[in-house]
Amino acid sequence: MNLKTGFDILMKMSSLQRYSQTYLIKPESVLEHTGFVVLLSNMIGLKLIEQGYAVDIGLLLSKAAVHDMDEIITGDIPRPTKYYNRGIREAIQEIENANMRLISKHLDLGDVIYNHWAEAKDNDEGFIVAISDTLAVVYKSWQEVQMYGNKAMREHSINLIGNLDAKLIDVQQTMFKNSYYIHDLIHEAIEICNKTQTGEYK
């Protein structure tokens, strides 16, 4: 790996701000979010291993580390825009795919980075990344509303509940479908979202 190329990617991830359509008291970079997701994925993965599940921690952390790397190409595109219709989504995906292949090549890693990014939320390890990604937004919403009084983030808490409900369905397709730990984690996150909206959760 060329060190200058690695530094350039990290610099771009640290410069990009998330929540482009929402005012934040404490802005969050893509790199900060990525670090949060990596650490949370690791904690969840280790807990599941403790419970007897065959989680590949190396694969899990590799997926978590690159899951949002495409944003150095596209920026933080608001979800309503990104998924407005099939045509727009496919055009954005074409840009993401082409440039993530280039990034992987520039890092002299063949298609490794690209493959981990493309499959970041696929299969069992990908589910952990997906739930960690959602929990990162649960935390950010709680932080802005409860710690800083930023009511603008309440809307994110409302939208998150549907996302978390979907995770309860998605988990049935993974080896964690009978894990009380995962189910309790999701239900706790829903409770935090509900209380964040009302100002009860401290």
What does the pLDDT look like over 43-62, one tens digit per residue?
999 999 999 999 999 999 99
pTM above 0.75, yes or no: yes
Query: Looking at the domain assignment, is residue 184 inside a domain?
Result: yes
Phi, psi angle pair for 199, to nearest 5°: 85, 15
With H, G, I as helix, E, B as strand and everything else as coil, classify residue 29.
Answer: strand
pLDDT for the residue 199:
65
Query: Looking at the domain assignment, is residue 187 inside a domain?
Result: yes
Give the pLDDT mean for 171-178.
95
Query: Looking at the domain assignment, is residue 33 inside a domain?
Result: yes
Please count the structural domains in the chain.
1
Give the pLDDT mean for 154-164.
88
- Of 104, 126, 123, the C-alpha closest to 113 is 104
- pLDDT(37) > 90: yes
More confident residue, 2 or 68: 68
- pLDDT(3) > 80: yes
Query: Looking at the domain assignment, is residue 20 inside a domain?
Result: yes
Q: What rounded mean pLDDT belongs to the chain?
A: 91
- pLDDT(137) > 60: yes
Query: Which residue range(s) make up the domain with 165?
Result: 6-76+120-198
Give the pLDDT mean for 4-32.
91
Query: Looking at the domain assignment, is residue 84 inside a domain?
Result: no
**What is the torsional sign of CA 55, 57, 62, 65?**
positive
